[in-house]
Chains A and B, each alone.
Chain A
């Protein structure tokens, strides 16, 4: 069984540009999560999809971030325009059940550097 995959693995962009990150969850997992780790800090929740619906987007930093999951399969996270403080590693995770009762499987992350 394939794990969670993310693309690209690395992205280096300039301030003001746009970047789109992609996550393919494990097949059959309805729950998809985005997390972010900025340097020296803990992994922090961004948002949660159940199928194609946003269940919780309380962790999204601001309206420069837009997440979609059309069709309830893969998800994209767009940052537009990117700022320096957006640099970090963006992780995607998927699970069959809810966080409190089911393991979340993480992807390898996308390392975003904004110059």
Chain B
């Protein structure tokens, strides 16, 4: 079967660094996506990892270890606007759909 696990909620302070973890079990793995979703809005693409290692994009970085079925999203220099849900999703060769985790709701405090 396919399973995605990530923490339900996290809190952090403005200016800090936060790491959101995601573990997955899937067949025919073909990439891991991170999306950001503000309440009532569309999920927006943050990153895509298909090879092991770290992908850096501004204040956001995403890491993947395929052998461990593990990814994390790293957010640096947190801003209030980073308060949102962060969705981990896996793509598969077997299907064309994304398999989502339940999302991690991040609250950034002043």
The residues of A with any CB-CB pair to B shorter than 8 Å are 3-4, 31, 33, 35, 41-45, 48, 55-56, 58-59, 91, 98-101, 103-109
Who on chain B is nearest to A50 by CB? B96
Asked if residues A91 and B42 are in contact (CB atoms below 8 Å), the reply is yes
Given contacts A99-B91, A108-B40, contact A55 B45 (CB under 8 A): no
Q: How far is the CB of B92 from chain A (nearest CB, A)?
A: 6
**Which chain A residue has the least Cβ–Cβ distance from B89?**
A43
Kindly state the separation between the CA atoms of A12 and B62 in the bound complex, as whole angstroms: 39
Bound: A99/B97 CA distance, A = 6
**Bound complex: CA A44 to CA B89 (Å):** 11
A-B CB pair tally, cutoff 8 Å: 71
Looking at the assembled complex, report how far the CB atom of B22 sits from the nearest CB atom of chain A, in whole angstroms. Answer: 12
16 A-B contacts (beta carbon < 8 Å): A31-B96, A33-B96, A35-B100, A41-B102, A42-B100, A42-B103, A43-B87, A43-B100, A44-B100, A45-B97, A56-B95, A91-B42, A99-B92, A101-B30, A104-B45, A107-B42
CB-contacts of B47-87 with A (<8 A): 48, 50, 87
Contacts of B40 in A (CB 8 A): 108
CB closest residue in chain A, given B48: A103
A1 to B92, CA, bound (A): 28
